[in-house]
Amino acid sequence: MPRTKKALTSLIAISLALTLTACGPGQDAPTRMIKQVTDGVELSLKDNGVDIEILNLLLVATETGDAVLVGTIVNQGDTEDKLLGIAVGSNQAVLTGESALKKNQPIRFEGDTANAKAVFYGVSPVAGRHVKLSLGFARAGYVTAEVIIRDKRDDYRNVTSGAATPAPTSSPDSQPLQ
């Protein structure tokens, strides 16, 4: 009888371990719905014929006290759109390069295939903090995302504010990006 009791106890323990660790909700499990696989934020704008994907959106703090946007914007819709501006609070980014969002022709900020640049000059960003970054589009309207400010190392070690002439990006009462 003691052996039978031990075997039954072991069988119950194994059954409990297997059922308690299984993912109950299946295809709708919260862990399956996570979309953010990098430090950057991902957004989808799909409304009124708009189909825009924003991928790996984040800011990098440079040694010169600037914040540089990293990310990709892709228009998957049939109608062209345009990126009008990027802001954090009252701080406007200086945009250079591509701003037209043609179907399946991405706007890439930073990296080897970059075709645009967005820099917040002289804002003293604080790495590790999150800020609310807003993007304005001609058709899609405005979207805001909470993005992280990364320090300039690892994958972001080559990010610079570039050679563009800095323009005033903030009012006298604006706050640093922190």
Alpha helices in the chain, H assignment, sequence order: 2-21
The residue that leads in pLDDT, 91 or 168, is 91
Q: What is the pTM of this model?
A: 0.72
Element (H, E) at 149: strand 141-150
48 band by pLDDT with thresholds 50, 70 and 90: confident
Q: What is the mean pLDDT of residues 151-163?
A: 89
Beta-carbon count within 10 A of 56 CB = 20
Q: Where are the domains of the chain?
A: 1-34, 37-156
CATH of span 37-156: 2.60.40.1890
pLDDT per residue as tens digits for the range 59-107: 999 999 999 999 999 999 999 999 999 999 999 999 999 999 999 999 9
Query: What is the dihedral sign for C-alpha 79, 88, 94, 167?
Result: positive
163 band by pLDDT with thresholds 50, 70 and 90: low
